[in-house]
Structure 1
Amino acid sequence: MALVKPTPPGECPQCWQHAYDKSIHRKLKPRQDCPACVDHMHNGCPNRVPKKQSIWR
């Protein structure tokens, strides 16, 4: 697996990894959807990295 930057605050780790790590989708055939991505699109992003608390609050 290639080195991917850590997930920034407020982003979903799965979305981030699937967007920036090309090796995940390399095994798919042309025009084939990634089952994990399709499931994630239908069910949403349940596990976002929490953002830091704002100093203005």
Structure 2
Amino acid sequence: MKTPPGECPQCWHHAHDRDAHRHLAPREDCPQCVDHMIHGCRSRVPKPKSRWW
């Protein structure tokens, strides 16, 4: 799956790809996701400018 413009690649991958969390036990937190929630998205891509306005 390709990350849409303006979305964080890690957030998108972990939210939409089942393989990202397959190695975790049931109800186990993903260390990458927890770190990402605490520190925020470092790899955030700016959204393209809207041409509507």
> Where on the TM-score scale, by shorter chain, does this alignment land: which range?
0.7 to 0.9
2:37 counterpart residue number: 41
TM-score, structure 1 normalization: 0.79
* Alpha-carbon distance in 2 for matches of 1:26, 1:15: 16
Which residues of structure 2 form unaligned runs of 5+?
none
* Number of equivalences: 52
TM-score, structure 2 normalization: 0.84
Any runs of at least 4 consecutive aligned residues in structure 1 with deviations exceeding 3 A, and if so which?
Answer: none
Structure with the higher helix share, 1 or 2: 2
RMSD: 1.1
From 46, 50, 54, the counterpart of 2:50: 54
* Alpha-carbon distance in 2 for matches of 1:42, 1:23: 22
